[in-house]
Structures are given as C-alpha cells and as structure tokens.
Structure 1
C-alpha cells in the first residue's frame, strides 16, 4: 500500500482558510498564516502544503 503525497496548493494571500476541501469528508475550517520569510505553511489536519504565489517553485 502506498501513501499519497500531501496536496500542494498555490494561494494568493498570506492568511488562508483550509477545510480539507472534501465537503463532509474534510476537517474543521482552520485559518493559517503563511510566514513572509518562509513562503508556505502546512495544514495540521490534512498536511496540505499551502504556498504563496510569490514563492511558487522556490520551496
């Protein structure tokens, strides 16, 4: 059995919501803050990597 890699999403803002994106199968909505020096944050529920558009291809 193989484990799928976490989803990576490019986002426009530094403060973004994540709810797992799967309707009733998702998770509670959380608001995440992307550090300006790091350029990305990982959701503690679904492990999605949210990358700010300015850091696309750099992280």
Structure 2
C-alpha cells in the first residue's frame, strides 16, 4: 500500500484559503498566510502545500 504525496499548488497571493477541494468530502475552509521569508505553507487538514509564485523552484 502506498501513500500519495500531498498536493502542491503554486499561488499568486500570500493569503489563501483551503477547503480540501472536494466539496462535501473536503474539510472546513481555513485561511492560511504564507510567510514572505519562507514562501510556502502547508494546510493543517489535508497537507496540501501552497508555494508562492516568487518561490517556485526554490523550496
């Protein structure tokens, strides 16, 4: 049995919302703030990793 890697999304904003993306099967919407020093944040529910476009390929 294999575990799928968390989803990685490239975004243009430092403040983003994540709801799991599966409608009723997702999770509660949470607002996440990408630290401008790190360039990414991970959703505490679904482990999706959001990378700001300025940091693409650097993290």
TM-score (norm 2): 0.99
Segments of 4+ moved more than 3 angstroms: none
Structure 1 length normalisation: TM-score?
0.99
Where structure 2 has 5 or more consecutive residues not aligned to the other structure, the ranges are: none
| CA RMSD, 1 decimal | 0.3
Task: State the SS of the aligned residue for 1:24.
Answer: helix
Aligned to 2:56: 56
Give the match for residue 10 of structure 2: 10
* SS state at 1:20 partner: coil
Q: Count how many residue pairs are aligned between Structure 1 and Structure 2.
A: 59
